[in-house]
Amino acid sequence: MSKGKSVYHGSTENIIPYFKELGYECEEHDNPADFALDVLITASQKHDGINILHTAYVNSEMHTNINNLFTEATCDDRRERHRRREQGAPARTFMMEIFYVSQRTLKNAIRNPALFLSQIVVAIVLGLLVGLVFNNMENSVDPGVQNRLGAIFFIIVSQIFSTVTALEPFLKERALFIHENVSGYYRITTFFIAKLLCDVLPMRIIPSIIFSLIAYFMTGLQQSGGQFFVFLLTIFMASVFGSATCFFISAIIDMFAVALIVVVLIFVVMLVFSGFLISLSSVFPWLSWIQWISAFRYASNVLTVNEFRNNRFCLANLTSICPMMGSDVLNKQGVDYTTDWDMWKYFFALTMMAITFLLLAYFQLHRMKKSK
């Protein structure tokens, strides 16, 4: 380049032949860089010498190729920017996005502790209520068996229905999520994982532990470390299922009142087919399939097997006479119990239902109509 005008843009191997065609000879033992300087100096001393070199360069095949490359690069850049605008493609790495979005989620939870504290209060109140109503249940045929079944039913119902509070948080940040995702701040997967790890799961772990510690020992269920662990794990997974359902519905419906009605309707339908309110064998065959998608049934079956298997119940006044075994109750309830897998298969089904609703929520986040 000389005087602001390009005269050559190519490889060093072609510089000598190129200028030779324009009438500039390279002296022996002169390197291409020095030769190029000599050409520019000589051309600048001539009238319109630089303009002649510039015109020759503009008309050369070399200039045409460079223009084509520049045009392609410009088009690629425009297409990439358009793709980012359309898809909201983020610029940061996946792990960095998770770090920052998770950090913000945790900070928001710390700055607004009302929801988390309310979950703790609800867990304490429900735990005390269960413990006081079903306090130190007798290991008797009557009323021990009925009280235990009632306690299990009430525990599962209260834990799942108490998760409806999970509706409001996402509904509040729904518009913010849409705006940030469309703007390319982060991927949908990033938001989903951060929401799951820093909001959905933590909001259920501590309340489940508090509720279990209060309710389990106050009610007088079988005092065993293994059975308490099963109880705690089931309570936690039932809460996760409820939260996953709320997450999914709030991703579909943006009005709290409507979303609440839909969630309650889903829970009520599952509750009816839990096996506690009506014998499932008496239900119309074309409706009985609902029992297989009832989280209430799976959760209550886990706790029922956990409490009644290997247990016996005596007469209220004659404690030495124990005419009823826990297996009799399980057979009457139609619950499988003979092997360990019989109990864990119900827990596995409950877990799969929670995962299913989480996946549905994830797919719905992709399907949401997004506009700034």
Domain ranges of the chain: 12-85, 93-367
The answer, yes or no, to whether residue 105 has pLDDT greater than 60, is yes
More confident residue, 63 or 331: 331
Of the pLDDT bands very low, low, confident and very high (cuts 50, 70, 90), residue 91 is low
Q: Give Cβ neighbours of residue 207 (< 8 Å, ≥ 6 apart).
A: 119, 120, 122, 123, 239
CA-closest candidate to residue 202, choices 330, 116, 309:
116
Entry pTM: 0.71
- Virtual CA dihedral for 147, 151, 154, 156, nearest 10 degrees? -140
CA-closest candidate to residue 330, choices 366, 292, 303, 355:
303
Element (H, E) at 305: helix 295-308
What is residue 286's predicted lDDT score, i.e. its pLDDT? Answer: 87
Quote the mean pLDDT of the chain. Answer: 84
The token pair that represents 189 in the structure block: 């997967």
The token pair that represents 159 in the structure block: 């834990």
The answer, yes or no, to whether residue 372 has pLDDT greater than 50, is no
Average of per-residue pLDDT across 22-47: 80
Let me know: does 314 contact 159? Beta carbons within 8 Å: no
| Separation CA 266–CA 167 (nearest Å) | 14
Average of per-residue pLDDT across 226-248: 94
Q: Give Cβ neighbours of residue 70 (< 8 Å, ≥ 6 apart).
A: none
The answer, yes or no, to whether residue 249 has pLDDT greater than 90, is yes
Count CB atoms within 10 A of the CB of residue 201.
Answer: 14
Element (H, E) at 324: strand 324-325
Percent of the chain whose predicted confidence (pLDDT) is above 90 = 32
Tell me: the pLDDT tens digits for 128-169?
999 999 988 877 777 878 888 999 999 999 999 999 988 888
DSSP state letter for 5: B
More confident residue, 296 or 98: 296
DSSP state letter for 25: P
Which residue has tokens 């834990």? 159
What is the sign of the dihedral through the CA atoms of 135, 138, 144 and 148?
A: positive
What is residue 281's predicted lDDT score, i.e. its pLDDT? Answer: 78
- In terms of Cβ atoms closer than 10 Å to its own Cβ (0-12, 13-18, 19+), residue 78 is exposed
| Separation CA 161–CA 239 (nearest Å) | 9
The answer, yes or no, to whether residue 77 has pLDDT greater than 70, is no
